[in-house]
Structure 1
Amino acid sequence: MSEHHNVYNQSLDKNQANFTALTPLTFLERSAKVYPERIATVHGAVRRTWAETYQRCCKLASALKQRGIGQGDTVSIIAPNLPEHFEAHFGVPMSGAILNSINTRLDSEAIAFVLQHAESKVLITEREFSAVVKKALKMIGKKILVIDIDDPSYEEGELVGDLTYDAFLNEGDSAFTGLMPEDEWDAITLNYTSGTTGDPKGVVYHHRGAYLNAVSNIVSWDMGQHPVYLWTLPMFHCNGWCFPWSIAAASGTSVSLRHVRADKIFEEIKEQKVNHFCGAPIVLNMLNSAPEEMKSGIDHQVKVMTAGAAPPASVIQGMEDLGFKVTHVYGLTETYGPSVVCAWHEEWDAYDDEKKSRLKSRQGVRAPMLDGLMVADPDTLEPVPQDGETIGEIFMQGNLVMKGYLKNPSTTDDAFSGGWFHSGDLAVWHTDGYIEIKDRSKDVIISGGENISSIEVEDVLYRHPKIQDAAVVARPDEKWGETPCAFITTTEGETVTEAEIIEFCRANMAHFKTPRRVVVGDLPKTSTGKIQKFVLRQTAKELD
């Protein structure tokens, strides 16, 4: 077709009036203008409005800029879920810099690795992590600007920085309105994967993806206007699944939580009328097992978003019995957190509780802003049949996929080969198009040539009334190659024997899937509450 026929390309160019780069930074500015007096953040006795929060973010951006920090520079933060951590999600990118929120459970070697790999120019830190941070700073061998959050409600640890966060804000100009990205493809944040194998990889997010996933969260979770959100999920984890930006877009309230404890969570839900929070199944389990008097007295609906290991149906059931509404999501650091959601159909309400929980425990379909999702053969990228049985790898495509891995072109190319992002998670595809994870490719147990899904065995274990946490890994076996080995934690005050659990499994699943060994004790967990299976695999190997 000749060019002149396409009148839609004639004198209809992008300009300042009709095109803006997408960035979640605009959400903050809007909330400050539209709802200046609404409470944006709650932390202990501290209450700040959206107008005040916006002004603090502008001052943070200005202070960074005056110190020569800007485009392409990394500002790291290692802190609990405090208002300052929330502000950094806006103030740092408003200076043109990239925010790198560091996992608070890392040791000093790992923190030093991140600071060096990210080439951080500034580190914002907090007393709780002073010992480990002090050691990490000695290891990096160069001087960077260190800023201390001095939270009066926390008295342990020490200040290790050049100045406090509040003193730093005072260097800034409150009239500064922040820099918006020229290109929405510009980096906004850097998140390191938990690095269960080798060094962690630096995942780079762009402004466009952060904007779209923040909105996707609101739509898929029906957040509406002014949600009250409790920070049970760490802000360092995929930037809190993009929720700092979602809260700003919905002009909600961000309720800080330093430590994830059942008593504190129930207290905040009742006092602040919290109606949204996120957490791994392990957090939900902890809430389920709390004493009855702690759980009573909630008279409003609370929505819970869960992800991580696939939540056992029994855990979802327990939360729903408390009157909490559970939405199951799935994603990776590489997909801005939740990019797949178990979208609910009203006709499913008619099913019995067991069936409903089973449907809810599937990972689901693509979230509103994800463009492509499939389960396919990892080598040919040929989609598997939607029969609920054929296992393939989960692939994603679209705006909710990272820019790539920082300074790691070959790993980036591998992750994107064939035009899809390779998740490394194995799943089946159901007839209704919903995906259900069967395992990480490295967690499948191959026993006598048969594939055993560790998730399936864990699901059965979670049905045992005395089991609180369960994890199943492969244990090397001369005859079978591998056999399932279960690690369990009992609910408080209960005891079980290995024989009793094996008997229970034999009665509830195929014999070849039944764990040959059961170990009772505490389970090693990552900072985000995921059970560290690589530690357990080693332990299983060493069992006599």
Structure 2
Amino acid sequence: MTAMTPEAAVQHVVSTNPTFAVHNITVRGVSIKAFKNIPGTVPGLLAAGWAQHGDGQLEYIAYENESWTYAEFTASVYRLGHALRDDLGMKSGDRIAIAMRNYPELLMLVLAVSSIGGVVVFVNAWWTTEELDYALRDSEAKVVFADGARMERLQPLKETLGLTLIGVRDGEGQTALDLSTLRDGAASDTAPDVTIDTDGDFAVMYSSGTTGHPKGVVQTHRGAVNAVFSWLMQSVIAPLIDPPAPDAPAAPRPSALVVTPLFHVTATHPLFLLSLPAGAKITLMHKWDAEEAVRLIRDNSITRFLGVPTQSAELMEAAKRMGEGLPTMDYLGSGGAKRPAAQVAQLAEAFPNAGVATGWGMTETNALGIGMIGDDYKARPECAGKLHPPVQELRMLDDHGNDVPNGTIGEIAVKGPQVMRCYLNKPDATAETVVDGWLRTGDLGVLDDEGYVTILDRKKNIIIRGGENIACLDVEGALHRHPDVLEAAAFSVPDDRLGEIVGAAVQLRDGTRLTQQDMAAFLDGHLAKFKIPVHLWVQHDVLTRGTTDKIDRRAIRTACLDNQEAQV
């Protein structure tokens, strides 16, 4: 077979494979491209994957010493769907929250809620009671499935918010309702008979922004399934671009290790949801441990690893210590944060059978965006890659919304079915971010003549700690609660392991002092632990101002990092 260019391969697949046929449609008054023949809803992905999972007979979910075939998983999904509708009285459009670590039940619940037309509210499992209170009030979710640790944090909110709490795993027995009882008592394990709008809401997933409180990103069914089939198409065009040898063995069944939280798009969309039509097996880790990850990949013939850059680096070091080459791994991806350029060649050398990949996407785009793999990435380790075809569009804009020439810094803007419907309850933020269907991402970059995008900076004041987005204003708001803090500025501090960690400079009242340990103890319960500043600079003078008399966060950060005498 003669190798095709990427552009020719995309055109060939779109024109000859009905699954990936594209048409033009109008959604919310905007003309976009979208896949024509794919499932219309997220629960439709479950049925679409039946044949790919051996007509339901192949093992689908593995978690520690537990296992579910695809048929068993599907039956559990539908039983939970019937229980939600028939026993709890939930209906289409109702928002149902999920608050737990990466358990198999989380995957079941995502599809069960979707199967009755409900809207999944993904709750960050690290949030405090205060943060949970905000998200549940904002989403108006009254039913919450929670494991033990989350149940403890939710109990103080039960009466004031009128919550129905349902225990999962170690959360069972802490309240009147348990997931296992609901599931086992359901009347049917067939799909609920519900009509679901393709452009209806699938999920609310919270993403930190510059406004302090996280924003609820409303994702639609069309957005999620178009993202899934955009990634699925990559596996179809890859052998057209780089044809395998005639005597090459058949590709193994795809098998993914989930190591990042399922309340973020990096795990839910390109791993879990993609696994359904791709026929892939999913293995869940109870908690990240690099050596355990090496053992799971080795013993379970896992082919796909997608984590934050820190996890890739730790996996590499653990594999070296253990003398493991992990030859079954053919994809080693990175999401949530930019991988250090020097790490790309190191990973390629350590795992020669794996295509080292990078990706850029957002909660607002259902994780779909830009990416590249293999030699392209090794040749451009500072680059984010190219736009994933064929339904997305890309522009680089100046501050006035005008296109900038290739090679010029601009704000990345994307358009397509993958773009969120809105920010929940935030019409002004929605109107500012989505303009005529174009999502203004807040990320600055450069597009070259070959279509590669290099991301340079963020317009938003966000700290990305190991893939977790932390709003500077969120941290500053918590610091201002301290009675001795007059002003505060939070910013990122470089970290070899996590990429960035939280630092802060504060102005204290005269005659007072504050150590990092005292500050951390004060913030405990007000902020999730990963948001609490690790480095603290204190002063009694006013923090540096800019020309508009606002705190100059960038100048403060530069001065603090130049003076490393912070309290750590």
Residue 202 of structure 2: aligned partner: 188
Q: RMSD in angstroms over aligned alpha carbons? A: 3.6
Segments ≥4 residues shifted beyond 4 Å: 18-21, 221-225, 526-544
Q: Which of residues 334, 345, 369 is equivalent to 1:317?
A: 345
Find the partner of 1:383 among 398, 403, 417: 403
- Work out whether 1:374 is the aligned partner of 2:395: yes
The amino acid that maps onto 1:284 is S
SS of alignment partner, residue 422 of structure 1: strand
Match of 1:204 in 2: 218
Q: 2:367 aligns with which of 332, 337, 344?
A: 337
Match of 1:77 among 98, 102, 126: 98
**What's the secondary structure of 1:199's corresponding residue?**
coil
After the TM superposition, which of the residue ranges 47-56 and 230-239 deviates more from structure 2? Answer: 230-239
**Offset at 1:25?**
1.5
Matched, 1:425 2:425: no
Indicate the SS of the match to 1:47. strand
Query: Which runs of structure 2 are paired with 1:459-474 in the superposition (5 Å)?
Result: none
Moved more, 294-303 or 326-335: 294-303
Residue identity over aligned pairs, in percent, reads: 24
Give 1:52's match in structure 2, choosing from 72, 75, 91: 72
Q: Mean Cα displacement is larger for which, 206-215 or 301-310?
A: 301-310
Q: Are 2:272 and 1:240 aligned?
A: no
* TM, length-normalised to structure 2: 0.70
CA contact 1:28–1:248 (8 Å) conserved in 2: yes
Structure 1 distance, partners of 2:529, 2:433, is 23
| Residue identity in the other structure for 2:429 | T
Aligned partners of 1:25 and 1:180 also within 8 Å: no
Pick one of 153, 164, 176 that aligns with 1:145. Answer: 164
Q: 1:486 to 1:237 in 2, by over 3 A?
A: closer
**Residue 290 (structure 2) aligned to one of 256, 262, 265:** 262
CA distance in structure 2 between the aligned counterparts of 1:116 and 1:490, rounded to whole angstroms: 35
Give me the whole-angstrom Cα distance separating, in 2, the residues matched to 1:361 and 1:295.
29
Aligned to 1:459: none
Pick closer, same or farther for the CA change 1:81–1:488 going to 2, 3 Å: closer
Q: Which has the higher contact order (CA 8 A, sep 6+)?
A: 2
Q: TM-score, normalization: structure 1?
A: 0.73
- Structure 1: which 5+ residue stretches go unaligned? 1-17, 152-156, 349-355, 445-453, 456-472, 474-481, 492-523
Measured after TM superposition, the shift of residue 232 of structure 1 is 0.9
Query: Deviation of residue 30 (structure 1)?
Result: 3.7
Tell whether 2:161 aligns with 1:133. Answer: no
Q: Determine helix, strand or coil for the equivalent of 1:337.
A: coil
Tell me the amino acid that sits aligned with residue 320 of structure 1. Answer: A
| Structure 1 range deviating more: 30-39 or 160-169 | 30-39
Structure 2 match to 1:296? 324
Q: Deviations over 1:303-322 (max 9, x none)?
A: 12212222111122222122
Correspondent of 1:112 among 128, 133, 154: 133
Structure 1 residue 44: Cα displacement: 1.2
- C-alpha distance 210-288 of structure 1, shift in aligned 2 (>3 A): same
Distance 1:291 1:339, change over 3 A: closer
Check conservation: 2:266, 2:336, Cα contact below 8 A.
no
Secondary structure in 2 matching 1:274: coil
Q: In structure 1, how many angstroms separate the alpha carbons of the residues matched to 2:332 and 2:316?
A: 13
Residues 423, 429 of structure 2: 8 Å contact kept: yes
Question: How far apart are residue 531 of structure 1 and its match?
Answer: 11
> What stretches of structure 2 of length at least 5 have no aligned partner?
1-35, 239-250, 465-471, 473-488, 499-522, 538-552
Match of 2:58 in 1: 38
CA distance in 2, matches of 1:315, 1:527: 29
Residue from 445, 452, 464 that aligns with 1:434: 452
Assess if the C-alpha contact under 8 Å between 2:218 and 2:421 holds in 1: yes
Aligned match of 2:27: none
